[in-house]
Structure 1
Amino acid sequence: MALRLFCLPYSGASAMVYGRWRRKLPAWLQLRPVELPGRGTRMAEPLQTDLAGLARQLARELHDEVRQGPYAVLGHSLGALLACELLYALRELGSPTPLGLFASGTAAPSRRAEYDRGFAEPKSDAELIADLRDLQGTPEEVLASQELMSLTLPILRADFLLCGGYRYQRRAPLACPIQVLGGRADKASEEQLRAWGEETCAGSELQLFDGGHFFIHEHEAAVLGCIEQRLQRWRAGEGSLAPAAAAATF
């Protein structure tokens, strides 16, 4: 039986950012990008600015699908925070526990207050474009295109509000392990990344890669290798990770 990997996009992106991964993953792993309202194939739907509410909406939409077989969830940046909230929302619906969560490129939920400082503040288009440029993940020709930016900036502004309006709530930890992925030159500190372990009773592990915020694209082969290796272990029943495991590096 195929293992589904539900992938949630980062700020300003649609589910298609994971599309190229399909050609690079084994047949036993079914990539399942999750489209968010207001972008991609759901462009006609209103953008959301309430992260907890969006997580509950996605949980209702995915509830039947996650009951069809083993699955794991991955998110990068905003997507990681949303993925965690999604798993809490799925648990409330009585959904099966996933094999694990991949939390990539962002501070843990309990460390958001410092990490997200300034996200809820109103920003001009120029300030949003400057933020994109600082992250070094958007080609300059895209940033210079008024047509493309007119589509991207409303999404990015809503996503900033999703992060800036988030309020951490401590709950009973998740029953699945968490594999944390981070970039050595990214904004999130190692302490903020390790704090993801507070969200699980099944252990967590941190794996660091060279690169900045978009290390998942800069070092795609290494990232996919880590994901595949971890999923193979989870699939084989090696579910739990040792708490506070030492950071592996690439």
Structure 2
Amino acid sequence: MTKLTLLCLPYSGASAMVYSRWRRQLPPWLHLQPVELPGRGARYDEPLQTDMRALALQLAREHKPSLHGPYALFGHSLGALLACEMAHAFRALGAAEPVALFASGTAAPTMRSDYDRGFAEPQSDEQLIEQLRTFQGTSEDVLANQELMSLTLPILRADFMLCGRFRPMQRPLLKCPVHVLGGKEDKATTEQLIGWSQETLGSFSVDMMTGGHFFIHEHEAKVIRIIKNHLEVHHRRHAQLAAQVY
């Protein structure tokens, strides 16, 4: 039976490793595929990107040959925008749309003028560190570690510019369901999260959790359960169709 592939896009400054723990908690029919971005992890030697659509198209081209069945896209923060752009890029390359898009922890593509204010230009080290403090996901010991920061800040600077330079464009809407996850104490407002409903002709849902920007780590089991429950419907339908063929 063909598995359903879950492509996961990391948030600003992170590598695909942030999703490695998920593998142990997913059912056998769901194949986790963390997506590594250029300039980090195993792709550290590659240049960092600051053009969202160019990056999405590059990643879609890289992953399209390995998609042999249904797939879904999940992204948190920067990763949510990138996941949405990848869905459009896959479609432009002649691939099927994802069975679902999960957008976590960020404002919708059409509601980012306030959310990303000032990020189109390179941020100084001090500005980036202050942003990390506001996200409340990095300890002061880590922020004070100059060696670690010298590796992290260039990635974070490029990732913020990816978001800051992003502009929505007119194009056919997606048809797949869009499921949004948000933190009740996070920067993204309810209105900005609900704005994701404008990206699709399909169904739409919002799940809110306690916590700030990194609620996906605080409530990891719940996040995975939400993803699994939504995708289980598609998996069962696919299994039934396959059974009818044989």
The normalised TM-score by structure 1 is 0.92
Structure 1 gap segments, 5+ residues each: 239-250
Query: Is residue 8 from structure 1 mapped to residue 3 from structure 2 by the alignment?
Result: no
Matched with 2:37 is 36
Q: Secondary structure at the match of 2:186?
A: coil
Taking the aligned partners of 2:93 and 2:219, their CA distance within structure 1 comes to 36
Q: How does 1:56-71 map to 2 (within 5 A)?
A: 56-66=57-67, 68-71=68-71
Is the 2:184–2:208 Cα contact (8 Å) retained in structure 1? yes
Matched with 1:247 is none
- How far does residue 222 in structure 1 lie from its aligned partner after superposition? 1.1
Matched with 1:46 is 47
| C-alpha distance after superposition, 1:124-151 (max 9, x if no partner) | 2111111111101123222121111111
- How far does residue 80 in structure 1 lie from its aligned partner after superposition? 0.2
Is the 1:112–1:168 Cα contact (8 Å) retained in structure 2? no
Q: Write the letter of the residue equivalent to 1:131.
A: Q
Taking the aligned partners of 1:69 and 1:122, their CA distance within structure 2 comes to 40
Work out the percentage of aligned pairs sharing the same amino acid. Answer: 62
Q: Write the letter of the residue equivalent to 1:163.
A: C
Q: Secondary structure at the match of 1:31?
A: strand
Structure 2 gap segments, 5+ residues each: 239-246
Matched with 1:214 is 214
Q: How does 1:42-191 map to 2 (within 5 A)?
A: 42-66=43-67, 68-191=68-191
Taking the aligned partners of 1:139 and 1:223, their CA distance within structure 2 comes to 23
Q: How big is the alpha-carbon RMSD for the aligned residues of Structure 1 and Structure 2?
A: 1.2
- How far does residue 59 in structure 1 lie from its aligned partner after superposition? 1.2
Taking the aligned partners of 2:97 and 2:193, their CA distance within structure 1 comes to 22
Q: Write the letter of the residue equivalent to 2:64.
A: H
Matched with 2:244 is none
Is the 1:99–1:235 Cα contact (8 Å) retained in structure 2? no
Q: Secondary structure at the match of 2:73?
A: strand
| C-alpha distance after superposition, 1:21-45 (max 9, x if no partner) | 1111111111100000000000000
Is the 2:60–2:90 Cα contact (8 Å) retained in structure 1? yes
| C-alpha distance after superposition, 1:185-209 (max 9, x if no partner) | 1111111111111111112111111
Q: How many residues align?
A: 237
Q: Write the letter of the residue equivalent to 1:76.
A: H
Q: Secondary structure at the match of 1:98?
A: coil
Taking the aligned partners of 2:229 and 2:118, their CA distance within structure 1 comes to 37
Q: Secondary structure at the match of 2:8?
A: strand
Taking the aligned partners of 1:232 and 1:173, their CA distance within structure 2 comes to 24
Matched with 2:241 is none
Taking the aligned partners of 1:141 and 1:194, their CA distance within structure 2 comes to 36
